[in-house]
A and B are shown apart, each in its own frame.
Chain A
Amino acid sequence: MKNSSRRGFMGKAFGAVAGVGAVASLYAMKRSWDPLPSVKAAGFTTLDMSGYKENELVTEKWRGKPIFVLKQTADMVEKAKKNPKELERLIKIGDAYYLVCLGLCTHLGCIPGYNPDEQSFLCACHGGLYDFTGEVTKAPPPRGLDIPPFKIDGNKLVLGEEGPEYKKMLEAGTTLRA
Chain B
Amino acid sequence: MAHFTKATSLHDWLNQRLGIDTVRRVMATEYWIPKNINFLWAMGMVLAITFGLLLISGIFLLMYYQPNVELAFDSVNYTIMQEVGYGWLWRHIHGVAASVVFLIIYIHMFTGIYYGSYKKGREMIWISGMLLFVAFSAEAFSGYMLPWGQMSYWAGMVITNLFAGGSLHADGLVEWIRGDYVPAQAFLNRFFMLHVLLIPLAILGLIGLHFGALRIPHVNNQDGEEIDFEAEAAKYKSGDKAGSKVIAFVNDFMSKDMMVVGIYLVFFFYLVFYHYDFAMDPVNFDPADGLKTPAHIYPEWYFLWSYEILRPFSTDVGLIAFAFAQVIFFALPFLDKSPNAVPASRRGLFKYWFWALLIDMIVLTAMGKLPPEGIFSTIGLVAALTFIGLWIILPFITKMEKKA
Indicate whether A64 reaches chain B with its CB closer than 8 angstroms: yes
B290 pairs with A34, CB closer than 8 A: no
Closest to A107 in B: B315
| A126-178 contacts to B (CB < 8 Å) | 126-127, 139-142, 176
Indicate whether A120 reaches chain B with its CB closer than 8 angstroms: no
Partner of B179 from A33, A61, A141, A176 at Cβ < 8 Å: A33
Indicate whether B286 reaches chain A with its CB closer than 8 angstroms: no
What chain A residues lie within 8 Å of B178 (beta carbons)? 35
Q: Measured between C-beta atoms, what is the minimum distance from A137 to chain B in Å?
A: 14
Given A36-B186, A142-B314: A110 touches B373 (CB 8 Å cut-off): no
In whole angstroms, how far apart are the Cα atoms of A142 and B181 in the complex? Answer: 20
A35 pairs with B291, CB closer than 8 A: no
Closest to B181 in A: A63
Indicate whether A46 reaches chain B with its CB closer than 8 angstroms: no
A141 pairs with B293, CB closer than 8 A: no
A35 pairs with B316, CB closer than 8 A: no
- Residue of B162, B181, B311 most packed against chain A (CB within 10 A): B181
Indicate whether B221 reaches chain A with its CB closer than 8 angstroms: no
Given A126-B311, A142-B314: A64 touches B297 (CB 8 Å cut-off): no
| B275-325 contacts to A (CB < 8 Å) | 290-293, 295-297, 311, 313-316, 318
Indicate whether A59 reaches chain B with its CB closer than 8 angstroms: yes
In whole angstroms, how far apart are the Cα atoms of A109 and B373 in the complex? Answer: 19
A108 pairs with B186, CB closer than 8 A: no
Indicate whether B112 reaches chain A with its CB closer than 8 angstroms: no
Q: Give 1 or 0 for each of A80-112: 1 = CB within 8 Å of chain B CB.
A: 000000000000000000000001000111110
Partner of A35 from B158, B180, B290, B318 at Cβ < 8 Å: B180
- Residue of B178, B186, B291, B292 most packed against chain A (CB within 10 A): B291
In whole angstroms, how far apart are the Cα atoms of A125 and B161 in the complex? Answer: 14
What chain A residues lie within 8 Å of B295 (beta carbons)? 124
B315 pairs with A33, CB closer than 8 A: no
A108 pairs with B162, CB closer than 8 A: yes
Closest to A39 in B: B180
B292 pairs with A108, CB closer than 8 A: no
In whole angstroms, how far apart are the Cα atoms of A129 and B314 in the complex? Answer: 13
Q: Measured between C-beta atoms, what is the minimum distance from B70 to chain A in Å?
A: 14
In whole angstroms, how far apart are the Cα atoms of A107 and B167 in the complex? Answer: 10
Given A63-B182, A127-B373, A142-B166: A108 touches B291 (CB 8 Å cut-off): no
Q: Is the interface of A mostly helix, strand, loop or mixed?
A: loop
Q: Measured between C-beta atoms, what is the minimum distance from A102 to chain B in Å?
A: 10
What chain B residues lie within 8 Å of A141 (beta carbons)? 315
What chain A residues lie within 8 Å of B157 (beta carbons)? 108-110
In whole angstroms, how far apart are the Cα atoms of A176 and B265 in the complex? Answer: 53
What chain A residues lie within 8 Å of B166 (beta carbons)? 142
Indicate whether B190 reaches chain A with its CB closer than 8 angstroms: yes
What chain B residues lie within 8 Å of A65 (beta carbons)? 181-182, 290
Q: Measured between C-beta atoms, what is the minimum distance from A46 to chain B in Å?
A: 18
In whole angstroms, how far apart are the Cα atoms of A43 and B181 in the complex? Answer: 10
The number of residue pairs between A and B whose CB atoms lie closer than 8 Å in the complex comes to: 81
| B230-279 contacts to A (CB < 8 Å) | none
| B169-183 contacts to A (CB < 8 Å) | 169, 175-182
In whole angstroms, how far apart are the Cα atoms of A58 and B216 in the complex? Answer: 66
Given A35-B175, A140-B318: A110 touches B180 (CB 8 Å cut-off): no
Closest to A62 in B: B181
What chain A residues lie within 8 Å of B372 (beta carbons)? 126-127
Partner of A110 from B158, B291, B314 at Cβ < 8 Å: B158
A35 pairs with B186, CB closer than 8 A: yes
In whole angstroms, how far apart are the Cα atoms of A89 and B154 in the complex? Answer: 27
Given A108-B161, A140-B313, A142-B316: A176 touches B169 (CB 8 Å cut-off): yes
Closest to B319 in A: A108
Closest to B296 in A: A124
| A28-86 contacts to B (CB < 8 Å) | 30, 33-36, 39, 43, 59, 61, 63-66
| B362-384 contacts to A (CB < 8 Å) | 371-373, 377
Q: Measured between C-beta atoms, what is the minimum distance from A130 to chain B in Å?
A: 14
Q: Measured between C-beta atoms, what is the minimum distance from B161 to chain A in Å?
A: 5
Indicate whether B184 reaches chain A with its CB closer than 8 angstroms: yes
Q: Measured between C-beta atoms, what is the minimum distance from B57 to chain A in Å?
A: 29
A124 pairs with B293, CB closer than 8 A: yes
What 5 pairs between A and B have smallest CB-CB spacing?
A111-B293, A64-B182, A63-B181, A110-B293, A109-B161
**A36-B179, A39-B184, A63-B182 known; 17 other A-B pairs, CB under 8 Å?**
A30-B176, A33-B177, A34-B176, A36-B186, A61-B290, A64-B181, A64-B290, A108-B158, A108-B161, A108-B315, A109-B157, A110-B158, A110-B293, A111-B292, A125-B158, A125-B293, A127-B373
CB pairs A–B below 8 angstroms (13 shown) = A30-B176, A33-B177, A35-B181, A39-B184, A39-B186, A43-B181, A63-B182, A109-B161, A110-B297, A111-B292, A140-B311, A140-B315, A142-B316
